[in-house]
Amino acid sequence: MLFLRMALSWDKKDGRELRIHENADELSTDLAEYIAELSEASVKERGVFAIALSGGSLISLMRKLCEAPFNKTVEWAKWHIFWADERVVAKSHIDSNYKLLKDNLLAKVPTVPSHVHSINDSVTAEQAAEDYEFVIRQLVRTRVIDPPPERITFTLPVINSASDVAVVVTGGSKAEAVHLAIDDIEPDCPVLPARMVRPTEGKLVWFLDQAAASKLDGAKFSE
């Protein structure tokens, strides 16, 4: 069926929803509407909206949130922002996901600084992970974080405890990984971590452009 303009949306048999867009601009618009709707529902139900973000192209694809109507209608003061993946580098470092979000979103919308929960970049990765776990336990009462060396990353139990999970992928270079993460595969195929993202009680939505979705079973797109 048609979703928004040229987006294709369908539900897989296991409940995952796929939203495939013709281009990144349409994906960005849909993603902004999706996040805004989740924010509104969460604020009405709980009084706050907690969101955990990775870095990379995701932040660029969230750019529509800085534009009308979202920059005015979203209750930014109710947001609590976390990082699902972050390098243990200074917040001003070019590799910092905090810096990426600050430059592209936080500087453009009225979030509350104390609600932006960045990692402690002045200690080791292990200590930073412990500190971050404490912050999360206090605020959202979730589970633990497992730190690889010099990086803080949410584990699958944390991700799967979320009420809503969105996986955003663009570009043909990711098509094989998308196929391995979503389609039924042979037992000897590698099992990607993304394949194990299955919210226990929540909803999982994949946002893809046509290039990233090009290797999905049965994927056919009109010119």
Say if CB 45 and CB 216 are below 8 A apart.
no
pLDDT value of position 72:
95
pLDDT value of position 145:
45
pLDDT value of position 79:
96
pLDDT bucket at 148, cuts 50 / 70 / 90: very low
pLDDT value of position 96:
93
Residue 152 has pLDDT above 80, yes or no: no
The predicted model gives 115-134 an average pLDDT of 90
Residue ranges and CATH numbers for the domains of the chain are 2-209 (3.40.50.1360)
Please write the tens of the pLDDT for every residue from 79-108. Answer: 999 999 999 899 999 999 999 999 999 999
SS3 107: coil
Q: Any idea of the CA torsion for 28, 174, 144, 92, to the nearest 10 degrees?
A: -60
pLDDT value of position 141:
57
The predicted model gives 134-142 an average pLDDT of 73
Query: Rounded to an integer, what distance in angstroms lies between the CA atom of residue 77 and that of residue 23?
Result: 31
Q: Is 68 left (phi over 0), alpha (psi -120 to 50) or beta?
A: beta
Query: Rounded to an integer, what distance in angstroms lies between the CA atom of residue 16 and that of residue 195?
Result: 11
Q: What is the pTM of this model?
A: 0.80
